[in-house]
A and B are shown apart, each in its own frame.
Chain A
């Protein structure tokens, strides 16, 4: 893990946080206050565990760039990803009230994160219940996604699970300007998709071919191209309501 020296440049670090979410919007002042609560910015190598399950934590981590996961390993060490985080999301804001995590947190790709000490959050939120409610809202979106992930694993077949995940990822990245609704960069491997969808790697490989042959979506060289968004979402039984996104998405960010 590398720490950037000197005073961090906080410009727009929180720009993507809670962007395009229905029913909650940070005021300019709140966003500025949140920016000011960032103590440092770190770049982290891919596949690095930054928090082990059960560890006490006194900071929360806002993902600025890259992709991160929450995961639980079974007794044999086999991994199940229980959440994937994208830029603009706190990966562990729930650690603020909970003080320790029941799962581990890791980078998937190389990532840049902003660190927010819990002590600073205390000072920030105590006199500002409305801002506290907005941060609470962001953890409730996490909870809504967990419910959708349970649905995915419990109810959907292999093709449906991958279609659901790709549809969700597209919608989340679109909300922060990192997908144009049809194409986005996804720095995950088929092994990652397998751990997300509860499938074997060879099953994922077959599903990706089926998605391609059905002209729904192509995933090649870290680029996902959705050919028929409506059909992909239908096949994955995906309804974006649980993401609480504005419709239509306002395009305040450029696709990168």
Chain B
């Protein structure tokens, strides 16, 4: 059976861009959302905080 990589966490980051006062997040994969600048900023801050928390949860390498 071929492993379904799509149910694994993504290793590629999404592409964020700004246009006409909106923030677009395209990818990874089928992610396609539009945010206001305020919602995008808050989402970004929450992502960074969650990313730091997730790193701390990982066992030390080596």
Contacts and interface: CB of A to CB of B under 8 A. Distances in A.
Interface in B20-34: 20, 22, 24, 26-27, 29-34
Interface in A205-254: 206
B39 to A, nearest CB: 12
A86 to B, nearest CB: 25
Contacts of B29: 155, 157
Contacts of A153: 30
Contact of B24 (A155, A198, A206): A206
A21 to B, nearest CB: 30
Nearest to B32: A158
A70 interface: no
B34 A157 contact: no
Given A157-B27, A206-B24, A199 B19 contact: no
B33 A157 contact: no
Contacts of B34: 199-200, 202-203
A154 interface: yes
A124 to B, nearest CB: 43
A158 B22 contact: no
A85 interface: no
Contacts of B6: 155
Contacts of B30: 153-157
Given A200-B34, A203-B34, A157 B22 contact: no
A161 interface: yes
A203 to B, nearest CB: 5
A119 to B, nearest CB: 44
A202 B22 CA distance: 8
Nearest to A152: B30
Contacts of A157: 26-27, 29-32
A161 B27 CA distance: 13
A158 B33 CA distance: 8
15 contacts: A155-B29, A156-B30, A157-B29, A157-B30, A157-B31, A157-B32, A158-B32, A161-B32, A199-B34, A200-B22, A202-B19, A202-B20, A202-B34, A203-B24, A203-B34
Interface of B: 6, 19-20, 22, 24, 26-27, 29-34
